[in-house]
Amino acid sequence: MSQAATICRSNFKNMYWTMLQQLTHHSVNGCNLRPGDLLASGTISGSEPGSFGSMLELSWRGTKAIDLGQGQTRTFLLDGDEVIITGHCQGDGYRVGFGQCAGKVLPALTPA
């Protein structure tokens, strides 16, 4: 795929547990948290198709193609696909993000 395609957008308001509850869960179970640690919530899925948080949900278990534009679709990731995840929070007068988290799907190694 030659051009990026946004396939979903979600919102932390769709989470079942608040970040405070997740932080508490980590700390009471022996996780050694320190200032500056980055906590990840996991997949955030909304109730509308454009806000589903995983390829499995977006493609309805591989039965519905996801339109990427330029005549390309996916039901699952293919070798060579690159996934870029970005996130931010914002309020009146501020916006805080963590940049990009990117990965590329490489072909499986052939056994020697």
Separation between Cα atoms, residue 94 and residue 89, nearest integer Å: 8
6 marked among binding-site residues:
no
- Do strands 82-91 and 72-74 pair parallel, antiparallel, or not at all (unpaired)? unpaired
d(C-alpha 52, C-alpha 102), whole Å? 19
Going by the annotation, the residues of the binding site for substrate are: 43
Going by the annotation, the residues of the binding site are: 43
